[in-house]
Amino acid sequence: MFCLNWLEIYFIFGTKSIKPKIYSRIKMIYVIKNLGTMSENEVTQAFAAIPPGVSTLDLSRNYFYEKSGTELAQSFAAIPKGVNTLDLSWNVLYKKSRAELVQAFEAISQTVTSLDLEGNDFWKKSAEELTLIFNAIPQNVARVSLSVEELNQMSPEQRKAIQNRYPCVEQVILVDAEDKNRKLNPTLSRIDTNAYVRFGFKVSPQLCFIPHLFLLLKIKKNCSSWHRVLSKSSIQNSKKASINLDGNQ
């Protein structure tokens, strides 16, 4: 008998394949593919089929650039209550006009708090466009995910346009596609902290101190271990010296 703590459901329109997986935390992920090629009626059916309890909705790689701003807005508005993480990565959204993206983002459900926008080539949008696009994201979306490679392609003005909406490191998840899609962790890595700073995101003094704290704790731990080794060695040497003295007597 298995205890199913984390149920991951994949729904692909036309095949309706469901694959449960066991994990250590409670979370339900729902994946919909091929939305970009579906009719309006099929899209409506796909969203209506989302079961209750879904917390993460994965709409990545759906060819959304083939949909109009109105169609995207209707889809995002249909996201069920309870979904707090929305994955829109790798949808080539840069091909949509500024007005269409503003219309679509404004319609995102009020329950969504985290939005994945990786791999949409937003570096091809001007700073003025990015300002309007990111300001259209509802205030309830507290955090966005962006790719390191994409930010590297941007000018300081383009990055500043994003930072007008998401200025702090706590509000942005940076993902390094060249490092197996690793999520940068500034709380544990000074190198990762420096990456955020290099891109212009605000880093709190406490966050800057944390990597150094871990280093100090590691040094302290190593020193304690070395001290125990030295103490043990000293005790052994003392015992040997005592035995030698007893033998000489």
* pLDDT the model gives residue 134: 98
Domain ranges of the chain: 7-203, 207-249
Sign, CA torsion 42/48/51/56:
positive
CA-CA-CA-CA dihedral for 217, 223, 229, 230, to nearest 10? -160
* pLDDT the model gives residue 224: 53
* 3-class DSSP assignment, residue 28: strand
The model's pLDDT over 144-154, given as tens digits with 9 standing for 90+, comes to 999 999 999 99
The model's pLDDT over 102-121, given as tens digits with 9 standing for 90+, comes to 999 999 999 999 999 999 99
* pLDDT the model gives residue 16: 38
* Whole-prediction pTM: 0.75
Low-confidence ranges of the chain (pLDDT < 50): 1-25, 211-217, 219, 226, 229, 241, 245
- In CATH, what class is 7-203? alpha beta
Cβ pair 203, 186 in contact under 8 A: yes
Cβ pair 22, 2 in contact under 8 A: yes
